Amino acid sequence: MKLKSLFLLLLLFPLLSASCHDYSNQLIPISREEYEAAFKQCSTYNFIPDTMAVDSAVRYRLQRLLAATYGKDSDWVRYVWAGRNDGGCQYEMVFAGPTGELHNMVVDSAFHVVRADSSSRGSLPLEYHAYSRKGLYAGEWWCEEAGNPPLDIRFWKAEDGRFRCFAELRDSTLCFPHAWNFHGIDDIRQLMFWGDDNTLYLKCHRLIVPKDKKITNKGWWKHSKEPLYYKVRVEEQNDFKEWNKR
């Protein structure tokens, strides 16, 4: 009888340990079905800017603000589009930077830039990003020349009129496909979005790194054809942290 009880205890111990483990801030593989079910609730948890809510007068003010932010370098940036967030009393302004990469700038109702830490001009990553209705902003940290770099996502929290960068999630085995493969921001939005309980969902690919680890194929590393699906439950940090670094 004692041996049977001991056997049951040993059998249950791994299950109990797993249930007590804290999976916050870790990439968890999920099924395509779970991912697609979560995406159906995208508009519930994410800000999706309404471009129709920006008239010519607002557009002009945003363009003037962009020029003032860049000063003498404003000739090298180009306004692309802007939208208003419902319930957020703020605008998102998309513009092309000096080297052609796209940025996102959040502007409050008083037309002040909500500046982001870790950015000299206060802008945020655009091409792969998600902005939750709770004020959490996640964006892939990369530059246009980098091609398909390993996964590197930074997290900001909107507070006290700014975006505070509180964490970075990296994985050298994963990447997003290049944005040129998509028709527009609505398609790209399906690769990263917020769900319930501050959970970020990601659709990415396995990165194929050349043996010599040099960038080939006209500047782009290759990746696997089949997508992979992940989620990470994000817990805000007071001090900057690096998660899942490998």
Predicted local distance difference test score (pLDDT) of residue 14 = 43
* Per-10-residue mean pLDDT, the chain, length 246: 47 40 74 97 95 96 95 92 87 88 91 85 85 94 62 92 92 82 77 96 88 55 87 83 63
Amino acid at 161: G
pLDDT at 239: 67
Quick check: helix, strand or coil at residue 231? strand
Q: Is the dihedral of CA 81, 133, 244, 206 positive or negative?
A: negative
Answer for the pair 230, 244: CB distance below 8 angstroms, yes or no.
no
The residue with tokens 């782009």 is 220
- pLDDT for res 187: 81
The pLDDT of residue 143 = 53
Give residue 214's pLDDT.
59
DSSP 65: H
Q: What is the pLDDT of residue 213?
A: 60
Contacts of 7 (CB under 8 A, 6+ apart): none
What integer pLDDT is reported at residue 7 of this predicted model?
47
Q: Supply 199's token pair.
A: 């959970």
CA distance 175 to 136: 21
How high is the pLDDT of residue 147?
A: 53
Sign of the torsion angle spanned by Cα atoms 140, 109, 240, 48: negative
